[in-house]
Chains A and B, each alone.
Chain A
Amino acid sequence: MNYTPAEMMTVAASRALDNRDVCFVGIGVPSAACNLARLTHAPNIHLIYESGTLGTRPDVLPLSIGDGELCETALTTVSVPEIFRYWLQGGHITVGFLGGAQVDRFGNLNSTVIGNYAKPKVRLPGSGGATEIATGAEQIFIVMRQGERSFVERLDFLTTLGHGRTGRERRKLGIRTRGPTMLVSDLCTMRPERETNEMVVVSLHPGITSEQVCRNTGWPVRFADTVVETIPPTSEELEVLRDLHARTARAHGTAGGNE
């Protein structure tokens, strides 16, 4: 079956989720990946959206973080202060799924501004839940389309901590959670190298060359000693994902956009 780079990215991200995970979900690709996991290999995964819905099982992807579908299919719905204080800060989340406008080699994220903060060229939405998800969840998966302008040498603003500007900030700040353990793009999968915490390519999606990855990365990207080819999406994964997107498009005239 043919598939798009975006489908490969969503499928690769979904495979990293485990049936026992309690996952704090963002809108866009993370939401598609988490629900794909739930509808395929991880039927018992617990999905939590920051609007307060615990254990939600949406039939269509929400357009916003607080669509009615999330509440109607949830085990229970709590207040927003409770979701951040008890459930996230309290240490009940195993995986946080994040994206942003820019990522650097240590998995730090910018979702605040392009350009200068006081006089921005582009004012982006801001942190939302990300800043505390990044330190409260046991580990973080980042999913983003790869390009020179998004995978950058230097962030214009560090909204959300990955491994910090030196790669070793977390320990220095006394943070005990693991931070970004995986960065999935439409070209490849990266994981932090032991010791340095620099994101290195561990897997190339089928048909993607290392040159393409280099061209689309703003820092001199490095590759792990062994780089494998990502297993292409199975027909079951593609069918479930396409059904989900089709149901979503019928429900609100979009494929479930990006936060």
Chain B
Amino acid sequence: MQFLTLEDAVAQHVHDGDQVALEGFTHLIPFAAGHEIIRQKRKDLMLIRMTPDLLYDQMIGMGAARKLVFSWGGNPGVGSLHRLRDAVERGWPAPLEVVEHSHAAMANAYEAGAAGMPCAFFRGYRGSDLPNVNPDIRFVPCPFTGEELACIPAIRPDVTIIHAQKADRDGNVLIEGIVGVQKEAVLAARRAIVTVEEVVHDFGLRSSNAVILPAWVISAVVVAPNGARPSYAHGYYSRDNAFYIAWDEIARDRETFQSWMQEHVLR
């Protein structure tokens, strides 16, 4: 584990063509890190994320991705992700290959990745058309009961990036609130970058069962205050729901989107 600047962490650990997972289930979405990837003009990424959200809308709209692995691609409570739709429906700014799953499947696939398994088994996809359009979804019989179970490959990103509340001085990381799939996504990856709100001397009073990622499973820790905005960091700031609503208008039009990105991300 190294403490790095955001610029150095992305430069060292995220390469063109990588399989990249930026996780955070509504909560703790690593926006600052995603924006740095856009600024460093990474290309041909295979973006993995259960809920693409505004961040992947921005990365896709800026042409960083060739492929998207996901299970729910909308603006929660608002509507469409217009940049994602434009890429899928009209190939702008580049055609986007999609590999589509359900939430249960992706959660299982991350867990399998964390557990060092080649694939995940679960009771899923029964009666759905999704297996017809995603060849990664297969069915195998349980060797003991004969029950047909869904089977999908484990997710093993080249690099996972998450945001968390705190790191201590040794680079151990504490995550609180809705913890999503972040622990699994970090343990499944070859490299992991964690951006944090702050570094503290030690975590102090906490539950014995707190979600803590030890420094030795993390490649780089980056101090990035407000690094999850406009999503939120439990205990620090709340979700900017008004911005999620405003994004609908910003992203609807290609030029409005590009000038917003120019002004707020590329600077």
Contacts and interface: CB of A to CB of B under 8 A. Distances in A.
Contacts of B238: 68
Interface residues of B, number: 57
Contacts of A259: 74, 76-77
Instruction: Report the interface size class on chain A.
Output: 35 or more
28 contacts: A50-B103, A51-B26, A51-B27, A52-B25, A63-B245, A64-B77, A66-B180, A67-B241, A68-B177, A71-B27, A79-B181, A80-B103, A120-B88, A123-B73, A123-B80, A123-B88, A126-B72, A127-B128, A128-B102, A132-B103, A132-B104, A135-B123, A158-B127, A160-B128, A252-B241, A252-B242, A254-B241, A259-B74
Interface string A224-259: 000000000000000000000000000111101111
B177 A77 contact: yes
A129 interface: yes
B147 interface: yes
Contact of A81 (B79, B108, B129, B234): B108
Nearest to B106: A80
B44 interface: no
B183 interface: yes
A51 B51 CA distance: 11
A63 B88 contact: no
A84 interface: yes
B103 A64 contact: no
Interface string A92-108: 00000000000000001
Interface in B95-119: 100-105, 107-108, 110-111
Given A63-B76, A131-B124, A136-B123, A80 B50 contact: yes
A144 to B, nearest CB: 16
Interface string B221-245: 0000000000010100011011011
A77 B183 CA distance: 14
B127 A89 contact: no
A150 B133 CA distance: 22
A236 to B, nearest CB: 27
B232 A159 contact: no
Interface of A: 27-28, 50-53, 62-68, 70-71, 77-81, 83-85, 88-89, 108, 112, 117, 119-132, 134-136, 157-161, 164, 169-170, 173-175, 251-254, 256-259
B148 interface: yes
A154 B13 CA distance: 47
A66 B27 contact: yes
Contact of A80 (B74, B102, B107): B107
* Most-contacted residue by chain B among A27, A50, A157, A169 (CB, 10 A): A50
B85 interface: yes
A80 B180 contact: yes
A253 B243 CA distance: 10
8 shortest interchain CB distances as A-B pairs: A66-B26, A161-B127, A125-B74, A64-B76, A252-B241, A128-B72, A63-B77, A132-B104
A124 B81 CA distance: 9
